[in-house]
Chains A and B, each alone.
Chain A
Amino acid sequence: MKENKVKLAKYLKEHFPAIIEKDYNYNRIDFSINRELVPSVLRLLKEESGYIHLSHISCVDWLEEEEFELVFIIWSPVDKIKILIHTRIDRNNPVMDNIDKIWRQANTYEREIKEMYGIEFTGLEAADEFLLEDWNGMPPMRRDFDTAAYASNKYYNRPGREDAMDVREEIARHSGEEIPDFAKKYSR
């Protein structure tokens, strides 16, 4: 396993000198590369190295760094090694190459990521058909999506919940504490 991983890293570095490797325990190895080279890396691994299975495409929202991270997880039934290919794209212009020519099933993951994070995959087939209906707002898995505000606008309050109490106010009430108005903005 270890040998195979070393060989794999060497092989990829020969073809893509910019690739950065990070080894993990057991059967996992990660690589990071700039977004333009991702399809080439994936195609090489699929066609030349036996990584024929696309397990998943995942996305991470790095809000503070204004980037999205895409992670392609692929698998070789021969090597029994799981490779994670990471790439970062601009959060303000989130465009990624479509890889459905390499794996047809990538389309499903890409449509999901398009819907949940708003990332455009060039030439994506049936891009707007997934789970959400008539969704015009911010993609809901983005970290700056305000779930609480959405839920409070979207759903009505069930009757029978009027007896809810505010913990802070309740504590202040039975101890006789008077919280001054200027301090209240810091209350929970």
Chain B
Amino acid sequence: MSFFDLKGTLSPFSALKQFGRKPHTIQYPKEDKEAADRYRGFHYNEMEDCIGCGNCSTICQNAAIDMVKVEGQEASKGDSGLRPRVDNGRCCWCGLCVDVCPTGSLSLTKDYLYVSDDADSFLFTPGLDNPGGKDNVSFFSTKESSLNDFARIPMPELEGKERIKSFAEVVLGYNEAEARAEASRCISCGLCSEVCPEHMHIPEYINAIAGGNDQDALRIIYDNNPLPEMCGKVCTRRCEDVCAIQTRGEAIAIRWLKRYATETADNAELIREIVNPEIKEANGYKVGIVGAGPSGLTAAYYLALRGFDVSIYESNKQAGGMTMYGIPKYRFPEDSLQKQIDYITSIGVKIHFNTSVGKDISFEEVYKQNDAVFMGVGFLKPWTLGIEGEELKGSEQAVTFLHAANSGLQVDVGDKVAVIGGGNVAIDAARVSARMNAEVTILYRRRVEDMPADWEEIEGAEDEGINIVPQAIPIKFHSDETGRIKSVEYLKAKMVPDEGGGRPKPVPIEGSNTIVEVTAVLGAIGQQGDYSFLKGEFEEKIKTERGRFVVNEFQQTSDPKVFAGGDAVNRTADAISAIADGYRAVKGIEEMLMKKA
């Protein structure tokens, strides 16, 4: 060993060169590494997008997801108000809940660390307990990755040009394979049932169809709707607006599936055989029903099943009300309706045709002969436009025209028809006129998107070559020398936003007068009730408000013995609401009469 050990002196300093290097040891304080891109950690739920359908809870193989009431989330149309809560002690992070979420609100995040000394503290409401999870989402659902089937099985239809040649039914109906495939898309949440005025058991009958049990489906449908084929063809189907699948795709074709189920029984005897209803023994009470429309027929059917002696008084020679005389046959063929009426009468409902209450029999008589009365009288009186020339020959009301056409009478509208209005009646009148070889123009005050008619009807009309002129306000009908209508003069309108927050209002533009040549004009700006059949004391006793009868939750009017339903009561004025009114009245009538006994 030398005196000056150079190596021994310098060696300790060689460790200094390590200063600049990245350490291999664990960082302190600990830094978490970011998880992989599609990492499946804790759930996150976008509370506002979630509709509480519970599909996540149903799919979970570990029963880790409960649907619970969560503060701040109220039930509304299309939202059950419930939200998923996950038991992370059971979750296996498979991600199926995300794959079946119809709205895509549920996802998994990159968070995976949770420490607690209480093993039972693993319950966790995604979205509520981790609002920050939104920025950390890693495993989420897209329309492509989702296990939901967002595309509807298309409904076969006649071509537009083929349609106007006749009154043949436009919609052809699903075949068995199509119906099963369409029904299989349903996730059975039941959000649809809630918005259905009649609360039909939709998930149940769709599930029955999906499983190939059409007869069970029909039985379930008839539980609270005696006119399902009508609804299967012409229902306003608010159910489809809230369908869980509709949030990112096309709603389940609920209406068409109901139609499919009803078409599996093609005559009244077969319906009776399948539905096999239990008819209670006669209880001795008599109920008189004014009007054989949807509400009256519904009340009659369920009252008859419960042992009541039911008589319907109908002014026309056929039953069905507006669905017989208002809805054109290409939408709802007569044998379809007749089949259902035959079934209803087969269980003991009596219908007196051509018997107008107020003319052929007084209301007082009906009232005295029966223990309870139900009025399903509808809105029969059309509103008039109140403009010059409305009384001219060739100027007619659309409902009167449809009534005549549906009764099979010869109606001559010539070759140029103008229809005024934007509701379903207007579109129906236009499409019927087109089938009579007329060139049809619809004049509507507002924009096409404001039209109250179903979009499918509007589209159907356009396909059939009907010309829709929006923002047009008729001001005068001109006549030719024979006193027949020759043309319609209208003003173009501009849309002015409503200060009250309502729909934009059409305001006529001065000097924009335009003239359309016509051979006939059909007015369709709405109808009102005609209650002139209520005479004497009844006029006083049965209260109306703004043209409609005042009723309680059981459809009972201010005269306890008298119930009412349908267009003359509800504001939605469609067949399914009328059916719902009739069904509610049955409970009211039963309650009133049976309790008294």
Contacts and interface: CB of A to CB of B under 8 A. Distances in A.
Interface of A: 147-148, 151-152, 155, 157-161, 163-168, 170-172, 174-177, 179-180, 182-184, 186-188
A167 B54 contact: yes
B152 interface: no
A165 to B, nearest CB: 5
The 8 lowest CB-CB distance pairs between A and B, nearest first, are A164-B66, A167-B54, A177-B199, A147-B61, A188-B188, A186-B207, A186-B204, A183-B204
Given A158-B89, A167-B54, A177-B201, 20 more contacts: A147-B62, A148-B63, A151-B63, A155-B62, A161-B85, A163-B68, A165-B66, A166-B67, A167-B80, A168-B54, A170-B75, A172-B190, A175-B193, A177-B199, A183-B223, A186-B203, A186-B207, A186-B208, A187-B207, A188-B203
A170 B74 CA distance: 12
Interface of B: 52-54, 57-58, 61-63, 66-69, 75, 80-82, 85, 87, 89-90, 120, 122-123, 187-191, 193-194, 199, 201, 203-205, 207-208, 211, 216, 219-220, 223
A171 B205 CA distance: 16
Contacts of A152: 63
Contacts of B68: 163-165
B548 to A, nearest CB: 22
B199 A167 contact: no
A167 B207 contact: no
B535 to A, nearest CB: 36
A166 B66 CA distance: 9
Contacts of A168: 54, 188-190, 203
11 contacts: A155-B62, A167-B57, A167-B82, A171-B189, A171-B193, A177-B193, A177-B201, A180-B201, A186-B211, A188-B189, A188-B190
B90 A158 contact: yes
A143 to B, nearest CB: 12
A167 B90 contact: no
Contact of B80 (A151, A159, A161, A171): A171
A182 B219 contact: yes
B407 to A, nearest CB: 37
B422 to A, nearest CB: 31
A74 B181 CA distance: 40
Contacts of A171: 80, 189-191, 193-194
A93 B215 CA distance: 40
The interface centre, meaning the residue of A151, A168, A172, A175 with most chain B CB atoms within 10 A of its CB, is A168
A165 B123 contact: no
B90 A151 contact: yes
A158 B87 contact: yes
Nearest to B210: A186
Given A160-B123, A187-B204, A174 B194 contact: yes
Contacts of A164: 66-68, 85
Given A158-B120, A186-B220, A167 B189 contact: yes
Contacts of A184: 204
Given A152-B63, A177-B193, A187-B188, A170 B204 contact: no
Given A160-B123, A182-B219, A170 B82 contact: yes
Contacts of B203: 168, 186-188
A175 B191 CA distance: 10
Contact of A174 (B53, B75, B89): B75
A183 B201 contact: yes
A51 B479 CA distance: 93
Contacts of B52: 167
A168 to B, nearest CB: 4
A182 B85 CA distance: 31
B89 A165 contact: no
A164 B63 CA distance: 11
Given A151-B90, A175-B193, A161 B66 contact: yes
A159 B123 CA distance: 10
Contacts of A155: 62, 90
Contacts of B85: 161, 164
Contacts of B53: 167
B87 A167 contact: no
Contact of A180 (B67, B89, B194, B220): B220
A161 to B, nearest CB: 5
Nearest to A175: B194
B120 A159 contact: yes
A148 B60 CA distance: 8
Nearest to B68: A163
A148 to B, nearest CB: 5
Contacts of A166: 54, 67
B120 A160 contact: yes
B220 A158 contact: no
B89 to A, nearest CB: 6
Contacts of A147: 61-62
A179 B67 contact: no
A111 B81 CA distance: 48
